[in-house]
Structures are given as C-alpha cells and as structure tokens.
Amino acid sequence: MRSDGLREYIEQLAERNEVKKVTVSCNPELEMCEIAHRMFSAGSDQVLLFTDTGTEYPVAMNLYASEKRLLASMHAKSFEELQQRISSLFDTITQPKKGFSAKWHTLSSLYSLAKLLPRAISGKAPCQERIERSPDLTKLPILKSWPHDGGRFITLPMVITKDIETGKRNVGMYRMQVLDAQTTAMHWHIHKTGARHFAGYKARNERMPVAVALGGDPLLAYCATTPLPDGIDEFLFAGFLREREVTMVKGVTIPLEVPAEADIIIEGYIDPAEAPFWEGPFGDHTGFYSLEDWYPKFHITCITSRHDAVYPATIVGIPPMEDSIIARATERIFEPIIKKALIPELKDLYLPTEGVAHNLALVHGAHPYAGSGEKIANALWSAGQLMFTKYILRLPDSCAFTDQNNILRLLAEVKIQDLFFSRGPEDVLDHASEEVGFGSKLFIDTYYDTPSDAPVRWTDHASHTLGGRSLWVGEKLLLQIVEDYEPFQKNDAQKLLTQCAAEVGAIPRFILLVNSYAPMLHPSLLLWYVLANTAPARDIWIANDGDDFSAIIDARAKIGGAYLRPWPNVVASSKETIELVDRRWREYALGIEMPESPSLLYRKMLINYDSATANPWKDIMAQTEKEQ
C-alpha cells in the first residue's frame, strides 16, 4: 500500500473497514491506552483513531495489531515470501558468481537495490508544511500509559543520529519521557547504536544533532525496531521491504536528513557536557515497570509537521500486546540471515511471546557430534540482540515449537547433563538478572529424547499445606507449584521434597516457588512470570543428583536481603481508569460489547498498589488484602 502520510494510510484502511474512530473526547493520559489494550485483548486488529484529543492532532493506536496489514506494507502475502526475497538478496551479495549470465544477474540485482536507497530531495517537504521555531511539546497528544509511569512518553519515535566518525546514519526507537515543553529524556541502552553515537560526540565534547520522526508509512517506524547490523541504514531496509525508496529532506535547524513523508519531525540536540536526567519509571514490554536510571536530555530546537498530521502511539505491557506482532515479524524476517550468516547449524528458531523477545528461544538444530547443542547455544548468545536470550531449549526436529504437551513430555525426561549454565549480557530491562545488563543463562537440550504419549494434566491441591497446583506427565510429577513467602535456603530443598512426596504422593522433577497469585494464572502467564522473575544460576537449585534429579526454581519477587536492586511491579491500569472506561464504553461507539479490562487479572499480581516498585516482604499480604 502506497501512502503519503499517516492520515492517507488510515483513510485507505478505513475503506476496508480496518479503522475504528472514537469521536468523543478522550484523555491521552491513561484513558486511550486502556481502550486500546481492551480492543487488542478482545481480538480486534483494527486501528484506533482518536479524533478529540484535547489538541489539534488525532491519535492513531494499534497500527501494528494486524500481521496481515504489516505484511501488506511489505508487499508480501506471507513471511515465507519475505524470507525468500531476503535469502535471494543475501546469496546475491555473498556468493561468488560464475559465468556471464550469473554475473549479469548479480549486477541487475544490485542495480535494483541501489534504486531503493534513500533519496534526498530539495525544497520544502510535506513534513515541513508547518514550522514551529518556538516548539512546545504540550501541543502534542503525548500519552501516559500506566499509572506509575514517570510522565508522558513518546512511544513510536524514529530517532535519527549519525556516527561522528563515519557519518553513517542510524534510526532507532528509544522511548522519550517529556520533561518540559522543550525537553525530553532519551532512553537508549548502552548496547544500542544511538548510545554508541552519543559516546563519540561525548569523546569530542561536541553537541550531538538528533532528529525524531513520527508517522508517515508505519513500515518506517517498524524498521527502526529491527536488529540490523551496525551501519546498515534502516531507511534503505524500509525501501527494500516496501519496494519503494524513502525520500529524505534536510532538517530546518540541524544537519540531518529526515523522512519527507513523516507527519511530525522534532529537531534538536543532546549536549554531552550536560548532566543526565533520572528518567522513568515506565511500564515496559516486559510486563513490568522498568525503573529509573540516568539518561541524556534531548533539547528541542524546532518542530515541523504536515498540515493534516496524525500522532502515532503504542502501548506495551504484559504479553501478548501489539508489540508481540512486531516481535514475531522480526523473528520471521531475520531468520534466514541468522541461519546463513551467523549460525549455519541452526535449522529453525522460535521466540515465544511469553519470553518477551529475549527470555526464551526454542530451537531446532543438530549435528552428529558431542557439544553441538552447546555450540548452537553459544552462537545464539553471540548473535546480535540474541545475546540477551536468557533460556534456550533445543527440541528434536519432530517436536513442533507450538506442541506444548510434547515439550512438557520432553522436559519430564531431562537429565542433569542436559542442563548447561552460562553467563553473559542481559537486556538492561531484565529486572531479575544478577547485575544490570549481565547475568546467568541456561541451555536445556532435549534433542536426543523421544517424547512419550503419556497424558498431560493439571491437578489442584489447595487443601494441602503446600497449596498450588501439580502438573503431571503420565504418572510423573513434572511440576509442583508451591506458594511461599519465606526466605528459601539450599538446605531446605530436601525438606520441601519430602513434604511434597507426603502431601502430593510423588517427588516432582521441578518445584516452582511463587508468590500467592501465580497458581491462579493461565499457563501462558505462568511461563511469562517464571521467565521474567528468575536468574538461572541464582534461582535454580539442583536438589538430587543423577537421572532422577529434582530442582527448585525460585520465581518469587526478590525483595531485600542479598538482592540489592529494586524489584518492579507488574503493569496494570488503576481502578479509577478501569471504572472510567467502563462508564464511558458506549460513548466510544466501538461496535463491540464492552470487553473486561485485562488489568482486572493483572491487578491481582500487584505487590504494591502505590508505586512502580514492590514493598518489603512484611507488607505483601497487607497490600493483597487491601485490593480484595
């Protein structure tokens, strides 16, 4: 679909009944996000367009809620089609060609690619139809998503920077907290290219020009999220995917080019001599608040826009949400490059939604030699952003990634020698890692096992002292969930196993220690909770040696004691926001019966209702009783 600005894109979607307009007044602070969250959770993939925002700009949300729509923007009907295009391009560039016809084909392919390079235009561009040299961010309908967010955040920015040494452009997506009318924070992690560019300017003690683009073809912002190798232009990649170049124009107050088709451009600079800002917290894609930290200030010199500009926004939180569609698309699109260029032994890769892109990877891949699994794991832990992966599970090729019962049957056969612990970089947003940005990892190898056909079933033991639920594979007790608030020591393991055998009737392969709400969770939410709340080396204890080993997994909140980092709360809407949207649902005229707020379930998981961080242990039960 060809578009000229976000409004035209939305109008084209509206012709196909893919847009819901909310014409009554809605508050960008909390209310819009609660509506968007309910619509996505109810299965709607329509774009939401809020027309009465308290500003002159409409707000578009759920732009990426449809996989089909994202594929259409890439001129593809399936991810397999895209994979073939990318594989063909990769082969053209990397494999030597013999014979005149083959070399001619290579030249033709490279010429076609060259025509998709970003193209600079002169004069005034659509994104510069209006120029505000006395910029004021309060005129934009910038959203606040969750009740304990540090403020309003720009959530779909294309942040454009250049390497001070090479002049190569990078387009990243880093959330931006509004500090005042002309200043935001710039939340780029230490591993990101934008942070590296900033370090170059800091070394020279020079101001760093920065441009932030909002809107235009939604594919542009998608490409800003992709894990391209350093030095590969995201706007070139966008041109390749949509088969049409991105036109660029010089900024008004900075020496950077910006996409001419964008709806809004925010120009400015970051001064490395200036003290950073204590930014956050923010309800993040992990499903928890990412907590405060020091990030640089971005000073705005100019805001330009189209005369009919639309402000784009998204909301992230406990999966699945809109960003799950984006993550799945990225995984599928980049799989051929990962396999061909980085990990030839890898056959297939799957990143479950519950792993929020970096907590769990399922893989197929085998070679007939000892250590092949560990080699794949180490390769993944060295491959771009896959280095952040916390847990890796290798499955037999015959076991589908989505076959949950067979995966559970394989885990029931796991032996000690199938567990491989390691350490390495972690995503800065991983709140459970031993250190910020660094921690333990675990590879589990089930490749050489054959799943049984034993039935998989859950049983409840609420009347027992242990409480919780049991997961059985045939007659084997695979998992016993135990509610526990007391500090747990390794020498308590045998006592716990004995108690479990007495009350449940079997010794489990795994005992899972959780806070009181976790046993009530759907298995998908339970998996997300365990992956997010554990550091493998610290929180998994082997209780028995040998093939019939048992392990204790501590997935509880770590508050106080030896754990010195603040522990974040899950993200959930406030009762006031839920009740507001309940009252107003008919006014929104969205065409569906009012869905229940997902936050009603998530609020049961809160440890503290008053802030982004958890309370000490002694207050947990009091807080739970307060909500009930």
Q: How far apart are CA 315 and CA 285, in angstroms?
A: 8
Distances in Å between the Cα of 59 and the Cα atoms of 21, 22, 139 are: 10, 10, 13
Contact 466, 479 (CB under 8 A): no
Measured between alpha carbons, how far is 472 from 252 in angstroms, rounded to an integer?
65
Q: Could you tell me which of 505, 511, 512, 506 has the C-alpha nearest to residue 526?
A: 512
Burial class of residue 49, CB neighbours in 10 A (0-12, 13-18, 19+): buried
Tell me if residue 284 is catalytic: yes
> What DSSP state is assigned to residue 308?
T
User: Are 186 and 295 in contact, with CB atoms under 8 Å apart?
Assistant: yes
Token couple for 311: 């402000």
Residue 306 exposure: Cα atoms within 13 Å on the Cβ side: 23
The token duo for 518 is 């976790």
| Residue 617, Cβ density class (10 Å: 0-12 exposed, 13-18 middle, ≥19 buried) | middle
- CB of 352 closer than 8 Å to CB of 320: no
Strands (E), 311-447: 311-312, 348-350, 360-364, 391-394, 419-425, 438-445
Parallel, antiparallel, or unpaired: how do β-strands 551-554 and 510-514 relate?
parallel
d(CA 198, CA 189): 11
Bridge partners of 257?
250
Residue with tokens 């200043």, as numbered in its chain: 183
Catalytic residue among 284, 418, 430, 445: 284
Task: Just list the catalytic residues.
Answer: 284
